[in-house]
Amino acid sequence: MMSTVNSNNEENNGEDMSITTPSTSSLSSVAANHASQRQPGNAPLGSGLEARGIHAWFGKHHALENVSLDFAAGTVTALIGPSGCGKSTFIRTLNRMHEFIPSAAMAGEVLLDGKDIYEAGTDVTKIRLQIGMVFQKPNPFPSMTIGQNVLSGLKLAQIKSPKNNDDLLEECLTRAGLWTEVKDRLDAHAGGLSGGQQQRLCIARSLAVNPKVLLMDEPCSALDPGSTLRIEDTIGQLAQTMTIIIVTHNMQQAARVSDYTAFFLSDGGPGQMIEVGPTNEMFSRPKDQRTENYVSGRFG
């Protein structure tokens, strides 16, 4: 899959939309290509993740209004939209990272396997073990070695993996597409890796605690095109076994990796979810005029 995409859109791999404004037709062909190649996930999947009526505030500022979205198990959903539309805020409500920002508040329900993660008495650390997160900027722990970074989640959450550490290390790094590059220097410090390698290390780190859902908040925006493709490749592999939700500014990326796409927009007020649908439909025949304008590159 990657090779065809690569040759078609080599110059569009970066994140900066101002450089390229892809036409709707090329996006929809990429999306259709992805859809045709996509194998349904075969993981022991639960019922996925479901957001119901999410609102978010920062102090008095209403950042997100009444967003409801279903993420079926084993699918990849891309959240797209211009800056400030609330998509990053939304993704951070899905694993309760939103509440770390002082003055942040939210309303609504997020159901993981039918159970609200905001229910009183819920152990939030357990929630974050099941819903992992990869951030915009690669953030490995610089005081730890590569191996320690991968296993850090086990130590931080004080849990034991059923596998032994060496096997787990190899498995996670392989799934993140990093094993062959680092297998001879697992004891080296993580700071010596390139940005793309660091980001894949962060993905491997998230995998070690065996999450059901992986949230990715613009995971490639700080990376070069080559590293971006490696990560997208990794996402394709991971989608076999888990539910992935990815925020991206890059519509090409949404077309390449996602099964579903949700379009967020703020008209000056709180951000709203305008439209959601299968990715190839979103890029070929969106229902809403605003979505059409955005994916055809008329604004944003």
Partner 1 sequence: MSMSSLLILTLIGLFLSVRGFQAFQTQGLGFITKVDWTAGVDGGKDSFGLGAMIIGTLVISAIALVIGVPLSVLTALFLTFYAPERIKKALVTLVDLMASFPSILFGLWGFIVLMPMAEYWAKLIHKYVGWIPLFKMPSPAYTRSPFIAGVVLAIMIIPIVTSVSREIFGQTPLDRIQAAYALGATRWAMIKAVVLPFGASGVVGGAMLGLGRALGETVAVYSVLNIVFKVNFQVLYGFGGNIASMIVGKWGEASLSESKALLAAGFVLFVMTLLVNLLANFIVRRTVKTGK
Cα→Cα distances 63→87, 164, 215, Å? 10, 44, 19
Binding characters for partner 1, 74-103, by CB under 8 A (x = yes)? ---------------------x-x--x-x-
* CA gap 266, 84 in Å, rounded: 7
The CB-of-218 to partner 1 minimum distance in angstroms stands at 13
Determine which residue in the list 53, 66, 115, 126 makes contact with partner 1, applying CB under 8 A. Answer: 126
Strand 272-278's sheet: what is its strand order? 131-134, 213-217, 243-247, 76-80, 260-265, 272-278
Query: 62 or 137: whose CB is closer to partner 1?
Result: 137
Does residue number 156 form part of the binding site for partner 1 (CB under 8 A)? yes
The angle at the Cα of 129, spanning 208 to 167, to the nearest 5 degrees, equals 15
Determine which residue in the list 125, 167, 185, 192 makes contact with partner 1, applying CB under 8 A. Answer: 125
Burial string for 101-121 (b: 16+ CB within 10 Å, else e) reads eeebebebebbbeeeebbeee
Does residue number 137 form part of the binding site for partner 1 (CB under 8 A)? yes
Query: 115 or 126: whose CB is closer to partner 1?
Result: 126
- Strand 260-265 relative to strand 76-80: parallel, antiparallel, unpaired? parallel
Determine which residue in the list 20, 135, 161, 163 makes contact with partner 1, applying CB under 8 A. Answer: 135
Does residue number 152 form part of the binding site for partner 1 (CB under 8 A)? yes
Strand 115-116's sheet: what is its strand order? 61-71, 49-58, 104-112, 115-116
At 50 the three-state DSSP class reads strand
Binding characters for partner 1, 198-237, by CB under 8 A (x = yes)? ----x--xx--x----------------------------
Query: 142 or 226: whose CB is closer to partner 1?
Result: 142
Task: Enumerate binding residues for partner 1 (CB under 8 A).
Answer: 95, 97, 100, 102, 125-126, 128-129, 132-133, 135, 137, 139-144, 152-153, 155-159, 202, 205-206, 209
